A and B are shown apart, each in its own frame.
Chain A
Amino acid sequence: MKIPGNEATPSDPGLRSPSPLINRRDLIRAALFAAAASALGPAFSFAQAVSSDLTPAARGEDGSKFLTNPNWKAAFLNDQQNESLIALSDVIIPATDTPGAKDALVNRYIDLLLSVQPPEFQREFVDALAFIDSESQKQFGKDFRALALDDQIWLLTPWAYPRERSHWTERNERQNEAPESSYQHFERLKALIAAAYYGSEIGLKELGWDGEIAHGAYEGCEHSTTTHT
């Protein structure tokens, strides 16, 4: 990326790099900081911002470090719930050619989130987790985390798709239909696991994130106007 009009930006960062260790991104950052410093007015000073007035993010803290702490302990979930959540997340978003929810430690983020949520949110989550185990017990006589992978998939998949109405009766009624709450329990768990996964560093990389802050200007539609009409 070039920042025209800024002397701190070499015309071609790739070629002028003083050291092979300084990559393009570092140069962009350096240029940005130089632009920032030059724009400061006389009455500004970095010291004027009292650190207690800053958010942890504005202080530059990496708040994700707790996830990989070797002494990590759950703040909200008990051991059984934590194990169930890990098993569930691993089936919903497994490791494929890319890491899955277990690798992304979604259980640890969800545990932290639950610990600061209102009681109703906590209760709904715990109920949903218990529902999965109770269905598993009904069908297999075991908790979900103890099932073989095929059985886990067999149990979850019907809840993971929108329901079709019955074609067989005029009133679209079906016998033995699972109650609405079973879908809600599953959807609640899946949505939270997906948010925790795609909100993680692993999840962002799964989406193709390359960590760069800039790739030039937005070019938009490059087709002729009539292509789209």
Chain B
Amino acid sequence: MAQDTLQQTYDAIVVGSGATGGWAAKRLSEAGLKVALVEAGRAVTPREFTEHMPSYKLKYRNHSPEMLRTRPIQKQCYACMEYNYEWFVDDLENPYSTPPDRPFTWQRLRILGGRSLVWGRQSYRLSDVDFKAASRDGYDVDWPFSYADLAPYYDIVERYVGISGAAEKNEMLPDGQFLPPMKMSCGEVRLRESVKNKFGRTLTIGRAAILTQPHNGRAACHYCGPCERGCFTFSYFSSPFTTVKDALKTGNCTLMTDAIVSHVDMDTGSNQARGVTFVHRVTKETKQVRGKAVILCAQALESTRILLNSSTRDYSKGLANSSGLLGHYLMDHVVGGGASGTFGDFNILPTANPPHRPNGIYLVRFRNTPATGKHPHFIRGYGFQGGSSPEFNMDAPGIGTDYKKAVKLGTYDVSLGAFGESLANFDNFCEIDANLKDAWGIPALRISMAHGKNEAALMRDAGVTAAEMLEAAGAKNIRLNTGVEMPGMAIHEVGTARMGNDPKKSVLNAFCQSHDVNNLLVTDGSGFVSSACQNPTLTMMAITVRACDHLLERFRRNEV
């Protein structure tokens, strides 16, 4: 195999260019460090965005046989469509295994910007109820820092990204630096008032990384609808057109695309990471990049895979794994519980035309809070996402003229779907599958995860409380779901290299730095100690900036 070492030694190598990698590249290169940003996928251009292409122009209208053949797992993701499936990994080239009775859906992209191109854009802070959850209910351990430590970094990220939302003064969901909130529909206003008056719960407009006014050189949302197909005005946050662009503008950042990192290279004598080895996606050539610090931002499972594939004589169970915990405590929010119904009394017809609001509503966690006390059947809690709007009714009865009329008359739908906390559990883990390699010869993962009794209880409760709230708001035709979807479905994988103060009980310290190898950092979702129930990307970005600032301080003190 051809081995080739690139000449330059960088100050920092950032692996992955998504939400966290983009931030790491921006933060470090703007501070003057020479950065190599290494991305496994190709570059992306606005020319391939398809958000304004009507769906009838898709030959198979989302049933493309090529998509079904090459993305049998990826198509389980709502955002993987005939429009954009090439952004998602080819499942045939990127295999992983699971035990037969523990299925896991791993939905991911390999392209500049990664999942930030198609993410749901919901952006919520965690609170001390989350960071110190163990102290309250006795399960597992607290995070190694508190809300006050992270709050300034939430501020930095929110001010740059642009989060539209409304302040609610709810202790479970700290307010942030918000752009003006998007508006609610009539049905959502009714539900908000009803849950406030009858249940004392907070329903707010989704806090979304979508601009409602011009911000940092990007235009406000034009409400065409399908953000996950790209945005010509870059009105939702995606890293290629924000953080990565800023990093490249400094002249200090070198972008390497199509570079699939197989492992971290170690200098055994000094116990320091000296760079990474990658395989070129197209030519399959192997190359090495040298750096004074290595920052993995490849996504929790992928970063962990790189570390597990970086074993040395000193680290035989995977690099930075003296604790034996690397790969363990994999979490993904439990989803499935919720309810839907219709409001019969709004005389508002559905429309096929914009504005299409690319955002929903959020109902703040109300179980096991300091205010509501301990629930008898489960610990932790869930938040609801959903919405209410008039929709065309293709399921209308009848045929002929009557049917055509009934479709257009539509129904005014309302729905709530829960995202519940996934408890950290040692038995939910990933490891290297000794018999499986990807198309580049890199050993693949075996992922073993199942939601447990607490998660099932959360979804059971969520179905019931959602139905109760819809009924109290006057909804009819209520349908309730108390099911538990397959892990991975929330696409909120975190854990696998948990942070902590004790090197025996954690992989990373409070600044995402490996306890074992101090110039190696993992700043994506890997370090999460608990999953909370809020969408994790905002927190991952804040953690990344905090970790980068700490690394810069160490550079200033010549410790790296």
Contacts from A to B (Cβ < 8 Å): 1, 3-6, 28, 32-33, 35-46, 48-50, 53-64, 66, 91-94, 96, 98, 109, 112-113, 116-117, 153, 156-157, 160-162, 190-191, 194-195, 198-201, 203-204, 206-221, 223, 225, 227-229
B175: shortest Cβ distance to chain A, in Å? Answer: 21
**Apart from A53-B86, A198-B407, A221-B183, what 13 extra A-B contacts exist at CB < 8 Å?**
A35-B232, A41-B244, A41-B245, A42-B249, A57-B53, A93-B404, A195-B394, A200-B56, A206-B404, A206-B408, A212-B354, A218-B183, A229-B190
Among candidates B86, B189, B218, B408, residue contacting A207 with C-beta atoms closer than 8 Å: B408
Write 19 A-B pairs (CB below 8 A) sorted by A numbering: A5-B214, A35-B218, A40-B45, A44-B43, A44-B240, A55-B67, A55-B82, A58-B48, A64-B59, A93-B400, A93-B404, A116-B68, A117-B63, A160-B397, A213-B52, A215-B353, A218-B357, A221-B183, A225-B189
- B223 beta carbon closer than 8 Å to chain A: yes
Contacts of B158-189 to chain A: CB distance below 8 A: 182-189
Chain B residues with CB under 8 A of A204: 54, 56, 352
For B221, the closest partner residue in chain A by CB is A217
Kindly state whether residue B372 has any CB partner on chain A within 8 Å.
no
User: Known: A63-B59, A221-B185. Contact between A194 and B248, CB under 8 A?
Assistant: no
Bound Cα distance A223, B185 (Å): 10
Q: Are B399 and A153 in contact (CB under 8 A)?
A: yes
From A42, A46, A191, B47 is in contact (CB under 8 Å) with: A46
- Shortest beta-carbon distance from A79 to chain B in Å: 23
CB distance from A137 to the nearest CB of B (A): 20
B417 to chain A minimum Cβ distance, whole angstroms, is 20
- B241 at the A interface (CB under 8 A): yes
Contacts of A206 in B (CB 8 A): 404, 408
The answer to whether the Cβ of B194 comes within 8 Å of any Cβ in the partner chain is yes
Chain A residues with CB under 8 A of B194: 229
Instruction: List chain B residues, Cβ under 8 A from A215.
Output: 223, 353-355
Most buried by A among B49, B222, B224, B350: B222
Residue of B58, B63, B65, B397 contacting most chain A CB atoms (<10 Å): B58
Once bound together, how far apart are the Cα atoms of A35 and B46, in whole Å?
10
B473 CB to nearest A CB, Å: 9
Confirm or deny: B384 has a beta carbon within 8 angstroms of a beta carbon on chain A: no
B268 contacts chain A at the CB level, 8 A cutoff: no
Against A, the Cβ 8 Å flags (1 = close, 0 = not) of B208-236 are 00001110011111111000000011100
Closest to A104 in B: B56
Residues of B within 8 A of A55 (CB): 50, 64, 67, 82-86
Return chain A residues, CB-CB under 8 Å to B280.
none
Complex Cα distance, B468 from A24, in Å, reads: 47
How distant is the Cα of A165 from the Cα of B214 in the complex, in angstroms? 58
**Top 6 A-B residue pairs of the complex, sorted by shortest distance between their CB atoms:** A63-B59, A220-B183, A228-B190, A5-B214, A41-B245, A58-B48
The answer on a CB contact under 8 Å between B232 and A229 is no
A206 to B42, CA, bound (A): 40
Asked whether A220 lies within 8 Å of B353 as measured between CB atoms, the reply is: no
Flag whether B255 is at the interface (Cβ < 8 A): yes
Residues of the B chain whose Cβ atoms lie less than 8 Å from the Cβ of A208: 351-353, 408
B119, CB-defined interface residue at 8 Å: no
A38 to B218, CA, bound (A): 10
In chain B between 327 and 361, which residues have their CB closer than 8 angstroms to a CB of chain A? 350-357
Q: A116-B60, A229-B197 are in contact. Are A32 and B232 (CB under 8 A)?
A: yes
Q: Which residues of A contact B187 (CB under 8 A)?
A: 228
> By DSSP majority rule, is chain A's interface helix, strand, loop, or mixed?
loop
* A56 → chain B closest CB, angstroms: 7
Chain A minimum-CB-distance residue to B189? A221
Residues in B with CB closer than 8 Å to A217 are: 183, 212, 220-221, 223, 355
B219–A35 CB distance below 8 A: yes
Contact A216 B355 (CB under 8 A): yes
Given known A-B contacts A112-B59, A204-B352, A221-B186, A162 and B397 have beta carbons under 8 A apart: yes
Closest B residue, CB atoms, query A211: B54
CA distance A45 to B189 in the complex (A): 45
* Complex: A203 Cα to B190 Cα, angstroms: 32
* Nearest-CB residue, chain B, relative to A210: B353
For residue A45, which residues in chain B have a CB less than 8 angstroms away from its CB?
43, 45
In the complex with contacts A3-B233, A93-B403, A199-B61, A161-B398 CB distance below 8 A = yes
- A4 contact set on B, CB distance < 8 A: 213-214, 219-220
Q: Which residue of B lies closest to A214 (CB)?
A: B222
Contact indicator B394/A198 (Cβ below 8 Å): yes
Assuming A3-B222, A53-B42, A210-B353, is B59 touching A66 (CB within 8 A)?
A: yes
Q: Are B183 and A223 in contact (CB under 8 A)?
A: no
B150 interfacial contact with A, CB 8 Å: no
- Chain A nearest CB: distance from B408 CB in Å? 7
Asked if A199 meets B56 with Cβ closer than 8 Å, knowing A4-B220, A48-B45, the reply is yes
B556: CB under 8 A from chain A? no
Say yes or no: is B557 at the interface (Cβ < 8 Å to chain A).
no
Contact A160 B399 (CB under 8 A): yes
Do B397 and A161 touch across chains, with their CB atoms under 8 A apart? yes
A198 to B232 Cα, complex, angstroms: 27
Known: A43-B255, A57-B82, A220-B183. A6 touches B219 (CB 8 A): yes
Residues on the B chain within 8 Å of A156, using CB: 399
User: Across the interface, do B45 and A46 meet the contact criterion of CB distance under 8 Å?
Assistant: yes
* Bound: A212/B245 CA distance, A: 30
CB neighbours (8 Å) of A41 from chain B are: 240-241, 244-245, 248-249
- Cα separation A113 to B190 with both chains bound (whole Å): 41
A94 to chain B, nearest CB (A): 6
Which B residues touch A227, using CB under 8 A? Answer: 186
Residue of A whose beta carbon sits closest to that of B186: A221
Q: How far is the CA of A207 from the CA of B234 in the complex (A)?
A: 29
Instruction: Write the chain B residue with the least CB distance to A226.
Output: B193
Cβ contact within 8 Å between A214 and B224: yes
Contact in complex: A3, B219 (CB < 8 Å): yes
- CB-based contact A49/B47 at 8 Å: yes
Q: Which A residues lie within 8 Å of B59 (CB)? A: 56, 61, 63-64, 66, 112
* B392 sits at the interface (CB 8 A): yes
Please tell me if B44 contacts chain A, counting CB pairs below 8 Å. yes
Q: Which of B49, B249, B398 has the most CB of A within 10 A?
A: B398
Residues of A within 8 A of B48 (CB): 49, 54, 58-59
- Please name all residues of chain B whose beta carbon is closer than 8 Å to the beta carbon of A219 when the two chains form the complex: 183, 355
Quick check: is B453 within 8 A (CB to CB) of the other chain?
no
Select one of A6, A58, A161 contacting B86, CB under 8 A.
Answer: A58
Q: Does B116 contact A (CB under 8 A)?
A: no
* Cα distance A6–B407 in the bound complex, in angstroms: 40
Chain A hits for B404, CB < 8 A:
93, 96, 98, 206
Which A residues touch B224, using CB under 8 A? 213-214
Q: Are B56 and A201 in contact (CB under 8 A)?
A: yes
What are the residues of chain B within 8 A of A200 when measuring CB–CB?
56
Q: Contact flags (1/0) for B195-206 with A, using CB distance below 8 Å?
A: 001000000000
Question: When chains A and B are docked, how far (Å) is the Cα of A191 from the Cα of B187?
Answer: 28
Cβ–Cβ contact A57 & B50, under 8 A? yes
Q: For B397, give the chain A residue with the smallest CB separation.
A: A161
